[in-house]
Structure 1
């Protein structure tokens, strides 16, 4: 007689913009295995960003199957599935559940002329959106995209029955059920106070007739449905496994990091930087800056964005570190070499200061200025390459301080994730620059972990998100601010703020906008 296998694992799936991650977690929250698979992003026209919905599902199914087979996990061990993914955009399906066009992604810019036109007709257009959603609306949010489709592809909308987001498309392919959770609906834009859709926002965009496209709302931790026989054949999962509704990638990542209590901050230091602070009530300060996410468990997440994070270090390496690149056998060896080089420069980089506004999009925190550009400041002929490299590390850390400085309440601590969190050198600089304890949790795939924890709550493993986090998030590294270093960075930050303020006219003049 063959003994039955206990269902003791949770599967978390995080469908990013260009990479799908599937990860397995045990009851202690340990990340046991991860599989990553790339998905294609298409740019049929400049500024457009699309992906084939069927390909996204095929890649997701293949990633799940590979996770189980390559790492030799029995499908019977999977107790539930949690989902997260890149947020908003337009993932449209017909009444039979087939895509009516390629998905338009969150980073698509085609709606800017439409938004400009709406602002010209209603000068307070963006402010009205912010007062409802708590977020500065991006061009790739769902409602402006639906309005664009109504004007430019009415035949597409005529065939559409449901407007989904990425994770909801995957949930449909797994279960045959359709819904959206509050973390997505509130930033379409929607109603941050009510954590859902907003009739006023539908009216503002002239989309009352398209309101039926938008599915019912379901709590992130609730069960969306159960794996169908067809999905089981494609993924290797058992038929009947419960699938949780899930949450957008930003709230899910915060949960995976353990940032669920008011006053806890988290920073996702990747290509972009997302600085977030958990709040007990929706926060609309500062006005017309940043983002606001509803979180499962009755919390909100205020977020400030810097659009150039590890990009700054990548750029410096590409331009000034060819020898180190050629000699390094692995990425880890390369970054260790660079940190030793930067360590040859003292705290404060001998007066060199780097403004990390390297993105062509400029800056969005503490104000929106697309003309903003990066600078090295304070250089003399005595400065070395080590000084400039250290200035890059420090400039990015000062931008993180900038993100938390405009929050209406102070962060007690900062939980750090993303590529930058792998560096103890950089993590310590961030602690010194911000004056906050910086905590790095165990694991690598925090979005997938947050999704898995939501599924665990839905299954009754934990009574709440807070309990799930308390029982599963382990801090593996902690960095405390050094008072002497913090004093140096306090002086640097004052100069940083002056440059940020006083260079704005020059940036605009250089861009022909003066």
Structure 2
């Protein structure tokens, strides 16, 4: 039996899973991610901290099994996309990594919007433009940290940086870099004219060679082998944008009636297609792992992390009892409360700069009402993305849902009732790790293709049907939520006049 490691670098944890060639997860280790919030709107990671988390996860994983390191035939990484993780011109860490949920470049993006730059670049990049894109961050560095800007040697994303530390090789992985706004979706290459548009052409030479997900990137170095217990020369493969990894494991490839919902740090709704259709809404198109296919998605940092943020406030003696919270919500009538929550703690999907908040809070509201409102608000944010995606995928009837929130049957029933769609929850706890391991299996020729690997793994799913009696009530409250966010937006605009 051959074994493979899938690293999953997320917003909350660094995870490492050992997967055998039948797709069975034999062991999993988790290390809390170190995230720095030193200023309003800043979300960073120390680059050495990121690497240290990856090492700790690998060391703990290998210590938990009795499998010789030489039987591990490949390793790959699934990670959050966007952001900027920079090396200097000597290959050393330049500064802290800036995560995709960072919003320090908000004023720059607003300026670009006033100049109609998003509309100008979309036909080339098939991307929207917001604060977490590398181009926005790099432009901010030019204006605010000119010495760092002048010393940029390599522009990486999270999994590119971890792969660099494993192998000593600098590359940019395709599924992530295709959504960077450095990348021309028509030519499949970097585009210098885009850098000119953003006035950051000086970093052209810092864009690394592009590598495909299952392409061999390099080998574990002797130094890393000594530090982690991995075998010297273990192959390391390109890796994946975590949205792509989840889409693979959800099984939506090739289906026009199924969409993937990710409920984690981000609200993500994804579908797979082979063509770009002219639409009134600018959808995000990224390169998928299968040739000549795009992953099309809507996303915002408005999902379950907004619930987890309340752990210190809603827990008892430091404990956040999800099971007890679920029972509190189950005891309440569906969508009957007049309490609303806008889950914009980390960013908005209805306009730049809109803040989070409750509305309608009264003395009779209980802890259960607060949790119910938080869950509803998160689902309403997802539903905004779903409404847009249904225009692009009009035959969609099924949602394949992944993420930690799927452990709550009550929350999942709320989702089904709000959307009126059938939910399918794949029997996979760690889609990021499995997707990364699967990519390494294909790279190592364990399987001829992604689809062959998925077929061999035979992943089943739990089904949840919508209760039609609750649909109208949820839709009524959803419309109220949209009006409320409109007021939030108007207030934010007037405040800044």
* TM-score of the superposed pair, with normalisation by structure 2: 0.87
TM-aligned CA distance change 1:124 to 1:9, over 3 Å = same
Q: In the alignment, is the contact (CA less than 8 A) between 1:272 and 1:311 conserved in 2?
A: yes
| Distance (Å, rounded) in 2 between the aligned partners of 1:226 and 1:272 | 32
Task: Choose 196-205 or 225-234, whichever is displaced more.
Answer: 196-205
**Which of 445, 448, 452 matches 1:463?**
448
**Which of 467, 488, 491 matches 1:509?**
491
Displacement, 1:79? 1.1
Check if 1:400 corresponds to 2:394.
no
SS at match of 2:297: strand
After the TM superposition, which residues 76-475 of structure 1 pair with which residues of structure 2 at under 5 Å, given as runs? 76-120=70-114, 123-189=115-181, 190-263=183-256, 264-282=258-276, 285=279, 287-288=281-282, 291-298=284-291, 299-311=293-305, 313-314=307-308, 325=316, 334-346=321-333, 348-349=334-335, 351-352=336-337, 355-360=340-345, 363-364=348-349, 367-368=350-351, 370-371=353-354, 389-390=371-372, 392-407=374-389, 408-410=392-394, 411-472=396-457, 474-475=459-460
Q: In the alignment, is the contact (CA less than 8 A) between 1:186 and 1:294 conserved in 2?
A: yes
| Distance (Å, rounded) in 1 between the aligned partners of 2:492 and 2:203 | 43
Structure (1 or 2) with the larger CA radius of gyration: 1
| Distance (Å, rounded) in 2 between the aligned partners of 1:464 and 1:453 | 9
Structure 1: tracts of 5 or more residues without a match: 1-5
SS at match of 1:512: helix
Q: In the alignment, is the contact (CA less than 8 A) between 2:101 and 2:347 conserved in 1?
A: no
| Distance (Å, rounded) in 2 between the aligned partners of 1:310 and 1:262 | 26
Displacement, 1:306? 4.8
Displacement, 1:271? 4.0
1:65-113 residue CA offsets vs partner (Å, 9 max, x unmatched): 2210133332122111011222232222245432233322222223223
Q: In the alignment, is the contact (CA less than 8 A) between 2:7 and 2:16 conserved in 1?
A: yes
| Distance (Å, rounded) in 1 between the aligned partners of 2:488 and 2:90 | 55
Q: In the alignment, is the contact (CA less than 8 A) between 2:134 and 2:180 conserved in 1?
A: yes
Q: In the alignment, is the contact (CA less than 8 A) between 1:354 and 1:394 conserved in 2?
A: no
TM-aligned CA distance change 1:396 to 1:505, over 3 Å = closer
| Distance (Å, rounded) in 2 between the aligned partners of 1:198 and 1:262 | 32
Displacement, 1:150? 3.1
**Which of 458, 465, 472 matches 1:490?**
472
| Distance (Å, rounded) in 2 between the aligned partners of 1:172 and 1:355 | 45
RMSD: 3.1
Displacement, 1:163? 1.6
TM-aligned CA distance change 1:354 to 1:196, over 3 Å = farther
TM-aligned CA distance change 1:284 to 1:196, over 3 Å = farther
Q: In the alignment, is the contact (CA less than 8 A) between 1:312 and 1:356 conserved in 2?
A: no
| Distance (Å, rounded) in 1 between the aligned partners of 2:453 and 2:248 | 9
| Distance (Å, rounded) in 1 between the aligned partners of 2:97 and 2:370 | 41
Q: Give the number of equivalent residue pairs.
A: 490
Correspondence for 2:57 = 63
| Distance (Å, rounded) in 1 between the aligned partners of 2:101 and 2:311 | 26
SS at match of 1:438: strand
Structure 2: tracts of 5 or more residues without a match: none
* TM-score of the superposed pair, with normalisation by structure 1: 0.85
Task: Choose 13-22 or 126-135, whichever is displaced more.
Answer: 126-135
Displacement, 1:357? 1.5
Q: In the alignment, is the contact (CA less than 8 A) between 2:261 and 2:268 conserved in 1?
A: yes
| Distance (Å, rounded) in 1 between the aligned partners of 2:102 and 2:346 | 13
Task: Choose 148-157 or 184-193, whichever is displaced more.
Answer: 148-157
TM-aligned CA distance change 1:508 to 1:372, over 3 Å = farther
TM-aligned CA distance change 1:468 to 1:228, over 3 Å = same
